[in-house]
Structure 1
Amino acid sequence: MAHLLGAEALQLEFPTRIIFDSVSLGVDEGDRIGVVGRNGDGKSSLLAMLAGRLEPNSGRVTVRRGVDVGVLDQGDTLDDADTVASAVVGDLPEHEWAGDPRVRDVTAGLLAGFDWHASISSLSGGQRRRVSLAKLLIGDHDVLMLDEPTNHLDVEAIAWLADHLKRRWSTTSGALLVVTHDRWFLDEVCTRTWEVHDRIVEPFDGGYAAYILQRVERDRMAASSEAKRQNLAKKELAWLRRGAPARTSKPQFRIDAANALIADVPEIRDPVALRSLAVSRLGKDVVDLLDASVTYPSTGSGADTAVLTDVEWRIAPGERTGILGVNGAGKSTLLGLVSGTVLPTGGRVKRGKTVKVATLTQRLDELEEHLDSPVRVVLERLRTTYTFGAGSKSQELTPGQLLERMGFTSPQLSTPVKDLSGGQKRRLQLLLVLLDQPNVLILDEPTNDLDTDMLAAIEDLLDSWPGTLLVVSHDRYFLERVTDQQYAILDGRLRHLPGGVDEYLRLRHRQQEQSAAGPSASVSAARASSLTGSELRTAQKEVSAIERRLAKLDALINAAHQSIAEHDQDDYEGVAALTGKVDELQIEVAGLEERWLELSELV
């Protein structure tokens, strides 16, 4: 593979510290590199140096002649005076850009429904991010450098972006470098990982799951100095390995090694103990939404706006649920019904007597009164010791121990809250919410401003939190990691998603296809759902049969992956045959899942 760009002996110093010390690395055609590391360790600075936007103190960056590098900045660089059209396609006439397949693909994926004549100044943060991405992606770049591309994007847009980047070049051409805390995105797109830490850049093969495995192996050999970090990584590896089987399908993720490393790691959560403690704290009744509807009155002469319709949701003690839906679907309204800040206009909300709801919002309101106080003092005002965990695994922590568990160093404990970074403020905000001892916790986009290590630390803390947890997040990995089930708001109704985020994306795709087909398609779908008694029983039987077959296929695919991992890698024909078997099984799974969704719509 041809070399595209490289760096030799890069050194970068800021007035207070050294960021990089003699870093050398290269990017070749076909590379898909995820850049991870703690906030402040230099990920964005590394991209800026490689793109020629930041001059190192010493060393040099070389770019092969003719190579075009496209960069997506973490910040907003759009001109408010531009329109959407001028920002994305410039002065190109419509007949030129509309005839370009790439432009059509990008605009359909990111800008569907946008007013092309709208001013950039009138757009929301998420809309501006989509315009910035579209502007970059329609270009014919050899190397793309993306700094936090998933910021402000919803689950659908993130899935589209991942698919676009996988299709954009052949496997042996182009190159991608991406800085993101979105671990699902890293695993979906990247084939290599660079970890930025301690003034160096350490390379790993594979995406996020493979990186975690290799980091655990590295930490194990590095002895006890990394013991805390190692244990946390092992716990995350256990979830990756035992979770969605698709994550282990990449050949870089060595299943036999992973199984050996996590053999002594218990399940990440003890659901029985946590549920028992949740019941003792909450009682059997939490919050029941009974045919609840919310309609907002019109501000003008138009009709009232129905946001939620006939929602039936009985929230159980210890339930851990993720909520999905497009912006404006009604997620905040639904959470408002649960917390009591929104009253239903139809139906009713029944709340248990001992329920105490706390909400972690996207704002930092909880910190306003503490801005001038040192971090340690803020916690000591509330309580001298705190208990986390359930049953025999419960432990009592001092404020200092709790802060250390959340990644605060000793010097940072004396730092005034107003001087903390965005990620540090976010962690402190979560701690203050938890330490108020709620028994129902609502997290609204909790992953903002956090790096992957801090997300793992928060997930670890939530694993031992006994209570009912409701999460709204565009971070798919986080959502799947901390919740046990997912619901979606579709057309104002709450719908359970047995197939998780993948099912939600399929339903949204089908919804968009029906909208594009017009009213007749919706009418046909409604008619198709009217089954007679015998037809309904037949459909239910088929659903059950499909679910049994899917479980069997899942076991067969896992066994095939195990065989590939244990097979002699020099036996190319044998490996190819096993891989072909996996492909056949996965094709059957895809077909069955599609049929399952069709039947689920009917029954």
Structure 2
Amino acid sequence: MQLNLSHITYTYPGASEAAIANVSVTFPAGWTGIIGDNGCGKTTLALVTAGLIAPDTGTVTPKLFGAYCPQDSSIEPDNLMDFASDWSPEAIDARAKLEVDDSWLWDFSNLSGGQQKRVQIACALSRRPDVLIMDEPTNDLDAATRAMVAEALASFQGVGLLISHDRALLNRLVGQCLTFEDGRALMRPGGFDQVSAQTASERETALREKAAAKREAQRLHAEAVRRSEAASQSKARLSASKVAKGDSDTRERLGRAKVSGKDGIAGQASASFASRLQRAEERAGAIAVSKRYDSRISIYGGPASAKTVAHCEATVLHAGDFSLRVPELWVGPTDHIGLAGRNGTGKSTLVRHLLARVPETVRVAYVPQSASEAQREDALARLHAMDAANAGRVLGLVAGLNSDPDRLLDGADTSPGEMRKLILAEQLLGEPNLLVLDEPTNHLDLGSIEALEAMLAEYPGALILVSHDPLLVESACSLHWTIEPSAAGENAFELNVR
């Protein structure tokens, strides 16, 4: 079994450029990774492959039954109610592999992001599709749940497409990767580490070759200028314009020199050299090097003047049958706090509770775990309403996060990763004293994560970082809050501070 895409092009309504253009690729049975920077067209290709959007040109053959699991965990699967009532072996197996509680299926909107993602994946697997497309399946998931998802997906026997920035998952599942590089889609063998190393090596080689070609063109240009000047001087010496009309001997001598002398050879060599220079410049221009951004973010914001930017009395937070015991909490003006815990243990609930107790004098920047469609539209509207100076600052931050700012200005097919960068950039523009980020690496490409990590480590104000990325937390935070099970009951948890 395999799936063939031939000359696929798709442009979103209102967009000035195609999201994907003339992509031809064959997906064999097994898992293929689809990797690339935010906004390069990965999700668009997935939607075309799944038959959810029709390409402007090109074909997808043969006609296979596909299932698509979207990036956004909050999107309810369209077969959720069927799955809730389905006790076939496939449905039972999907529930078991992802440890989906039956009660979750009747209360999807109130589940945590990680629980919603598990339900989404279980619903997709239960359909027994020929083609299974997973778009960032480990967003919102803790380490243990990521391992569970990896095992569940490894059992799939059809054509699998995995869009992910999760290096461990890609290395665990895929046998080849489709990479998006400067508008081109290239299939490369191997998992993420192998493909990433090959891509980086090719880019370094191209950079060296381009630099050498430019140096050669510059050398030839300098030599061409020298020879052109020599030829001009020769032409002036050989000119008969000032020779008397009756001086036939001098005119004959100059004519012989033009044809056979050093001066004539210099003129011919200059013309030949110009041709060599043109070829050298064409070679330098023909060497393509994949475009990258600076991947650095300017620091905005600073410590609050108050001794405390947030204070929470000891309490117990409740949500349904869930409870979280919280000790008295203080957040200082330069504290960097990492908040960790399994999915569904109340991290986002605690963040909202704490934010409600921040003094009005403290400027807060908050980027939630996921943004609604209305929030995304508001972010784009704010960008277009900004004056040139502030818009430039926001777009500069977006560029520092490894994305093309022009795509945000276009706005027609903004990816979730690009939108997350825009929301973060707009929040930073307010010069916050307290920065609160709930799973900030969701949807971000690897270059963006590295840039974010560097910025957070240097951020001078207070930081509360909710993340399942241990490297990010370790780099950015010196204080750690961890939610762990409590002896008070099955759905009881407590916050430990260290």
Q: Structure 1 length as normaliser, TM-score? A: 0.52
1:293 paired residue number: 314
CA distance in 2, matches of 1:116, 1:283: 45
Q: Choose from 169, 172, 178 the match for 1:194.
A: 178
Aligned position for 1:335 = 351
Shift, 1:7, TM fit = 2.5
Tell whether the 8 Å contact from 2:108 to 2:116 is kept in structure 1 after alignment.
yes
- With over 3 angstroms needed to count, the CA separation of the structure-2 counterparts of 1:135 and 1:200, relative to structure 1, is same
Matching of residues 275-424 of structure 1 within 5 Å? 281=303, 293-295=314-316, 307-310=324-327, 317=334, 319=336, 321-327=338-344, 329-336=345-352, 339=355, 341-342=356-357, 357-361=364-368, 362-363=370-371, 372=381, 374-375=383-384, 377-378=386-387, 380=389, 401-407=396-402, 409=404, 411=406, 422-424=416-418
Q: State the shift of 1:179 in Å.
A: 1.5
Q: Which residue of the other structure, out of 123, 142, 151, is the alignment partner of 1:163?
A: 151
Q: Distance in 2 between matches of 1:210 and 1:192?
A: 9
Q: How does 1:490-529 map to 2 (within 5 A)?
A: 490=484, 491=486, 492-495=493-496
Structure 1 residue 431 displacement after superposition? 2.0
Q: Once the 2 structures are TM-superposed, how far is the Cα of residue 449 of structure 1 from its aligned partner?
A: 5.1
* Counterparts of residues 228-243 of structure 1 (less than 5 Å): 229=292, 232=295
Q: Which residue of 1 aligns with 2:238?
A: none
**1:441/1:470 contact within 8 Å kept:** yes
Greater RCO (Cα-Cα under 8 Å, separation 6 or more): 2
Matched, 1:428 2:418: no
1:28 and 2:17 correspond:
no
1:331, CA displacement in angstroms? 1.9
Unmatched 5+ stretches in structure 2: 212-287, 487-492
**Cα distance, 1:35 vs structure 2:** 0.8
Larger Rg: 2
The answer to whether the Cα contact below 8 Å between 1:184 and 1:477 also exists between their aligned partners in 2 is no
Letter in 2 for 1:46: L
Q: How does 1:131-146 map to 2 (within 5 A)?
A: 131-138=119-126, 140=128, 143-146=131-134
How many residue pairs get aligned? The number is: 403
Match of 1:114 among 102, 106, 115: 102
The alpha-carbon distance between structure 1 residues 483 and 35, as it changes in their structure 2 partners (threshold 3 A), is farther
Q: What is the alpha-carbon distance in structure 2 between the residues aligned to residue 298 and residue 448 of structure 1?
A: 24
User: Structure 1's 10 and 156: CA in aligned 2 closer, same or farther, altered over 3 A?
Assistant: same
Residue in 2 aligned with 1:82? 81
C-alpha RMSD over aligned residues: 5.0
Contact 2:305-2:333 at 8 Å conserved across structures? no
Cα displacement (A) at 1:439: 4.1
CA-to-partner distance for each residue in 1:418-457, whole Å, 9 max, x for gaps?
9966544432321233233334421023345544554444
Gaps of 5+ in 1: 236-267, 269-273, 344-350, 385-397, 498-603
Decide which of 465, 469, 477 is 1:471's aligned counterpart.
465
Classify the secondary structure of the residue corresponding to 2:366.
strand
The residue that corresponds to 1:445 in the other structure is 439
Q: 1:480 & 1:39 partners in 2: Cα distance?
A: 25
- Answer whether contact 2:294 2:402 (CA < 8 A) is retained: no
Q: CA deviation at 1:405?
A: 2.3
Q: 1:493 to 1:82 in 2, by over 3 A?
A: closer
Q: CA deviation at 1:178?
A: 0.9
Q: 1:9 to 1:72 in 2, by over 3 A?
A: closer
Match of 1:176 in 2: 160
Contact 2:8–2:23 (CA under 8 A) maintained in structure 1:
yes
Secondary structure at the aligned position of 1:71 is classed as strand
Matches of 1:47 and 1:286, distance apart in 2: 47
> Which residue pairs with 1:150 in the alignment?
138
Identity over aligned pairs, percent: 27
Q: Is the Cα contact below 8 Å between 2:338 and 2:480 reproduced in 1? A: yes
TM-score, structure 2 length as denominator? 0.62
Q: Corresponding residue for 2:67?
A: 71
